[in-house]
Structure 1
Amino acid sequence: MQYDTQAQRQAWIEGLAQLREQGAIDADDENTLIRHMDERLDAVQQELKALVPEYEQRVAEDGREVADAWIGTRAREMGEREGADARRMVDSLTAVRNAPAM
């Protein structure tokens, strides 16, 4: 699994380098995107690990269906929060701020 994560990260970085070479983003934007992805992946992994004990407890006490509904709600909340955070980060990029109005 570690290899997959590293391979995906490397592909992400290579894609950003291509965007920079094409002039779609500048070096600051590239670094911001790499830093954001690294920080968010780590934070999400930590949050997911923290959910496991409570999920297992809910399975034991309330059954799998109830626990699955609970984890589904947590996953949606995480997704919405991560999406909003990503939108704020993207809106802060120089390429976005300096884009011509449509």
Structure 2
Amino acid sequence: MQHDQQAQRQAWIDGLAQLRQQGAIDADDENTLIRHMDERLEAVQVELKALVPEYEERVERDGREAADVWLGQRSREMGEREGTDARRMVDSLTSARSGA
């Protein structure tokens, strides 16, 4: 799993380098995007790990089906929050503000 994450991170970095070479983003934007992705991945991993005990508790108390519904709701909330955060970050990039 760690190898997959490293490979995905490297693919992300390579893609950003191509965008910079094409002039779609500048070096500051590239660094901002890399830093943002690293921070968000770490935060999501921490949040997911924190869900495990509550999920297991809900399975015991309410059954797997109800626990799965709860987990789906939490996942959607996380996704929406991450999407909003990503949009805000992208809108703050130099290239977005300059209309590049």
Q: TM-score range by the shorter chain?
A: over 0.9
Kindly indicate whether structure 1 or structure 2 has the higher relative contact order, using CA contacts under 8 Å at least 6 residues apart.
Answer: 2
Structure 1 Cα separation of the partners of residues 29 and 54 of structure 2: 38
CA offsets per residue over residues 17-60 of structure 1, 9 Å max, x none? 01101111000000000000000000000000000000000001
Q: How many residues align?
A: 100
CA drift of 1:71 comes to: 0.5
Please list, as runs of the form range in 1=range in 2, the aligned pairs for 1:18-29 lying within 5 A after superposition: 18-29=18-29
Report the TM-score, using the length of structure 1 for normalisation.
Answer: 0.96
Query: Alignment partner of 2:99: what SS?
Result: coil
Q: Which runs of 4+ in 1 moved over 6 A?
A: none
Number of the residue aligned with 2:98: 98
Point out where structure 2 has 5 or more consecutive residues left out of the alignment. none
CA drift of 1:77 comes to: 0.5
CA offsets per residue over residues 54-77 of structure 1, 9 Å max, x none? 000000111001000100110011
Number of the residue aligned with 1:62: 62
Structure 1 Cα separation of the partners of residues 74 and 7 of structure 2: 28
CA drift of 1:79 comes to: 0.5
Report the TM-score, using the length of structure 2 for normalisation.
Answer: 0.98
Q: CA RMSD of the aligned region, Å? A: 0.8
